[in-house]
Amino acid sequence: MTKKPMRVIIVGAGLAGLALAHGLQKLNIAFVIVDRETTPRDRNWCITMSWSLPLLQKLVPASIFECINLCQPDPTTDPTEAGKYGIAIRDGSTGKVKIRTQFPGIRRVNHKKTKHHLSQGLSVQYGKRLVDITVGPDDDEVAAHFDDGTQETGTIIVGADGGISQVRRWLLGNEAAQEVLPCQFMNFSFGLPADSAQWLERSLGPTIEVAAHPRDMYMGISLLDKPDTKKPETWLFYILAVWKLGDTSDGQGSGSQLSELRSRMDDWADPFKTVVEMLPDDTFIKQDKLRIWHTKPWNNHQGRVTLIGDAAHSMTFHRGQGGNLAIKDAYELFNKLVLVHREENDQKEAIDTYDKGALLRGEEVEISRQCTMAFMDYENLENSPLYQIGINPAMQY
């Protein structure tokens, strides 16, 4: 029987899916990339890119990688200086630096900007919500079925569809469900009047300001975007705040989220305390949860279905590894697909090897979870993985 030519179906146009698509396109390997979104999400955030940047450079066109600085909240930020500054973990009550974790050339990139930047040169099909997957009778092809009645047929489906991955749910059923961590989580953007915005920018380093408070609370403040560098009133910042559930007030009542946050800031140092006081009273903070998924082995159906990025290992942000591992997955899977395309490796064997690596990389889910919980256990923070390995990769596979 004639072997079908490779055609890769990438479900999800996030960092991992877009990076993989570029790699395939450079080698003229047939693919299609789809995404369930029809309009951009209403939320935005920043991602720490560090050790994965050399891998991204190998996947995307030079013209895209050379302009990656444009994805920073402030495109003029010098990555060399950012690398020297690193990420300072402060004592929330005094503002003093407890530990500074560094990585050369580190970049904080705006998620929306980065997705838009990486989508250049790719024909992403939007509004494609996956509803089913079928595998051919001879395990030689696979089809992705979407809620608009269309389908795509190829030789492999790659689930790059994030933490609530439908590809993962098809593979694992109820085992694909995420775990909700026992904490209150706030993640929101905001603007300020021009003078206040300038003050806050001067108070922040080139990456993100992070603090752990003796009241067992975490907060991070970062620049998110500068739509107009000459108009500070247009600048956007964002706050991440986390504390354990179970206090007398846990954010689940009828009071506003902003009131809840303000009630916890009395003994915080600046800029954390003052910026929360400055927030407009109508600042909307959506109730949110921290969700993770501990990677479990999946049946790849003779190498026809696999996962990358958050679909393969959903983790918290406290060690800045999610984006880096998404690119690492894309790079590793790309290399395996090239071997199959060149008929240097059997597809089942190649994808089995990739899946084993993804499972090992999934150990970061637990490492990051430990960091998250340590930020809410001030007395034991110094025993956390963050103090041992910083933002370096925890494994080399």
Average pLDDT value for the chain: 94
Cα distances (Å, whole numbers) of residue 154 to 95, 130, 307? 54, 15, 16
Distance CA 190, CA 280 (A): 8
Tell me what pLDDT residue 117 has. Answer: 98
- The pLDDT of residue 230 is 95
pLDDT band at 247 (very low <50, low <70, confident <90, very high): low
Whole-Å CA distances, 45 to 28, 106, 186, 271, 288: 33, 16, 12, 19, 14
Strand 30-35 relative to strand 124-126, pairing: parallel
Give the pLDDT confidence score for residue 42 in this predicted structure: 67
Tokens of 149: 């009645």
Q: What is the pLDDT of residues 32-86, one digit of tens each?
A: 999 999 876 767 899 999 999 999 999 999 999 999 999 999 999 999 999 999 9
Q: How far apart are CA 266 and CA 264, in angstroms?
A: 6
pLDDT of residue 238: 95
Predicted local distance difference test score (pLDDT) of residue 40: 67
Q: How many CB atoms lie within 10 A of CB 266?
A: 8
Beta-bridge partner residues of 210: 89, 220
Contacts of 146 (CB under 8 A, 6+ apart): 34, 128, 129, 130, 131, 152
Identify the CA nearest to 19 among candidates 329, 355, 307, 300: 329
Half-sphere exposure of 173 (CA within 13 A, CB side): 1
Domain boundaries, the chain: 7-86+109-179+291-377
Mean pLDDT for 258-273 is 96
Q: What is the pLDDT of residue 140?
A: 82
The confidence score (pLDDT) of residue 2 equals 61
pLDDT of residue 253: 39
Question: What are the start-end ranges of the E strands in 256-358?
Answer: 291-292, 305-307
The answer to whether the predicted template modeling score (pTM) of the entire model surpasses 0.85 is: yes
**pLDDT class of 307 with cuts at 50, 70, 90:** very high
Is pLDDT above 50 for 246? yes
pLDDT at position 251: 47
Least confident piece of the model among 119-123, 243-247, 384-388? 243-247
> Is 60 exceeded by the pLDDT of residue 240?
yes
How far CA 308 is from CA of 202, 264, 267, in Å, comes to 38, 38, 42
Q: Which residue has the tokens 């140092």?
A: 269
Separation CA 90–CA 71 (nearest Å): 26
The superfamily (CATH) of domain 7-86+109-179+291-377 is FAD/NAD(P)-binding domain (3.50.50.60)
Looking at the chain, which runs of residues are DSSP E strands?
7-11, 30-35, 46-49, 87-91, 97-101, 107-110, 124-126, 130-135, 142-146, 151-154, 156-159, 179-180, 183-190, 209-213, 217-225, 236-244, 291-292, 305-307
Question: Does residue 19 contact residue 333 with C-beta atoms inside 8 Å?
Answer: no
- Cβ atoms of 122 and 21 within 8 Å: the answer is yes
Chain segment 119-157, per-residue pLDDT in tens: 999 999 999 999 999 999 877 899 999 999 999 999 999
Per-residue pLDDT at 4 exceeds 90: no
